[in-house]
Amino acid sequence: MELQTIGQVAKNYNISVRMLRYYEQTGLITSIRKDECAYRFYDEENLRHLHLIIILRKLRISVKQISDILNNPDASATVEIFERNINELDEEITSLSTIKNILSRFTEELRTKAGMHLQFDLLNDKNTLSMIDSVSFSKNYLKENLSMEELNKANENLMKLQEKHIRIIYLPPATVASAHSVGGDPEHDSDVIMAKFMNDVDLFKINPGARFYGFNHDADGQHGYEVWGTIPDDLDVPAPLTKKKFAGGLYAAYTSKPVNFEEWKLLYDWISNNDDFDYDKREPFGMDGCLEEHFNSYNLYGMKNRKHILSHIDFLLPVKEKEGK
């Protein structure tokens, strides 16, 4: 089998380039570079791994568990992981079935009292209380901030973002150093440019609160990525970086942890059905004003012999309050 570029693999396997890079960053797959070529390529072994990863993710196996499976040739370890997930699913199925039965009973009861001033006496019914007490939620429900992966394990119908997952924040205006790369591996290449600049100027010393944003920025029909680092207004920026002004503003923020770039769609769906805010395409850059804020910036740019660990990201969608609110 011939080597395939990251673009070819994304198309052939119906997966985003961003997710491919994430799987590579987490060590699930690896790519190679040919001499004097900017593109990354995947060989047959890594494509087999990718096929397995896609299947396991559809079965709701976590990235950490997939890593354990790929790194352990002992089939008994894989069986143990599968059995653990089966047990969790059994508990969730039982709980959801109980919830369905209770809600069905409530529905029938309420239908008989349509138009009346309702007192929910049925909530105090001993049999009902006994049924509710028997519900055993998955541990995923007990966390204050649920990731979408955890919600998937509980119930596919819970995929829609809820208000508790969204923060409305204000990003202050800032001067930024911009590293923009197109073609090849633009995320990696722009990171390399930014890292060299940050180390050369020792930015974390002169600006300990530096923030780092990124976004897709294609050009000439090729995939591109741009990285911003906030800098003091009077700091000189050498080529190939450029100095820009970020206007800041109001954003809807959603933390993706573990990182799943497919969740951008959920944020778009959330704003399209929101009663209080509209999508505000306020700046003509990249993803119509959308940004990704990386929270491991010191790990990325501030440490020698650093390792790119993409732990979690804020997806930032520019918003504005609806008129009359």
> pLDDT tens-digit profile of 87-129?
888 888 887 887 787 778 777 766 765 555 554 555 555 555 5
The domain 167-321 having CATH identifier 3.20.80.10: the answer here is: yes
CA-based torsion, 227, 231, 237, 242: positive or negative: positive
pLDDT score for 319: 94
CATH fold match for the domains 4-70 and 167-321: no
d(CA 230, CA 243): 10
The whole-chain average pLDDT of the chain stands at 78
CATH for 4-70 is 1.10.1660.10
Higher pLDDT: 304 or 174? It is 174
Q: pTM for the full model?
A: 0.58
Amino acid at 272: S
pLDDT score for 115: 53
Q: Hey, which residues does 40 pair with through a beta bridge?
A: 33
Q: How confident is the model at residue 299 (pLDDT cuts 50, 70, 90)?
A: low
Q: Hey, which residues does 320 pair with through a beta bridge?
A: 278
Q: What is the DSSP code string of 147-192?
A: -HHHHHHH-GGGGS--GGG-EEEEEPPEEEEEEEEESSSHHHHHHH
Query: The tokens of 67 are what?
Result: 């890593």
Q: Hey, which residues does 245 pair with through a beta bridge?
A: 175
Mean pLDDT confidence for 259-283: 84
150 in Cβ contact with 62 (< 8 Å)? no
Q: What is the DSSP code string of 83-131?
A: HHHHHHHHHHHHHHHHHHHHHHHHHHHHHTTTTS----GGGG-HHHHHH
**Domains in the chain: boundaries:** 4-70, 75-159, 167-321
The model's pLDDT over 128-158, given as tens digits with 9 standing for 90+, comes to 555 555 555 444 443 333 444 443 444 443 3
